[in-house]
Amino acid sequence: MTEEETIYEEAVCCHCEGLGCRYCDGKGKVLVARPAKKCRHCHGECCIYCGYTGWEGVKGKYE
């Protein structure tokens, strides 16, 4: 595994449920820090804190 794979895992984007949207770059999945947890603010309903992906610890696009 690459270093990135040990830190992050793929999770289905809660906003589009895998269909692909602007928040997951059209992939339907996002990289989130292991262990993947639903956003504590919205519990997967999508909010500004999780970048509208529904997940806690989403890997930033600009890292």
- At its nearest, how many Å lie between Zn ion and the CB of residue 38? 8
- At its nearest, how many Å lie between Zn ion and the CB of residue 62? 18
- Considering only residues 2 to 61 of the shown chain, the ones binding Zn ion according to CB under 5 A are 13, 15-16, 21, 23-24, 39, 41-42, 47, 49-50
Based on CB atoms, which residue is closest to Zn ion, 7 or 42? 42
Q: What region, left, alpha or beta, does residue 10 occupy, with left being phi > 0 and alpha being psi -120 to 50 degrees?
A: beta
CA distance 22 to 4: 22
* Continuous segment of H or E residues that includes residue 29: strand 29-33
Site residues for Zn ion per CB under 5 A = 13, 15-16, 21, 23-24, 39, 41-42, 47, 49-50
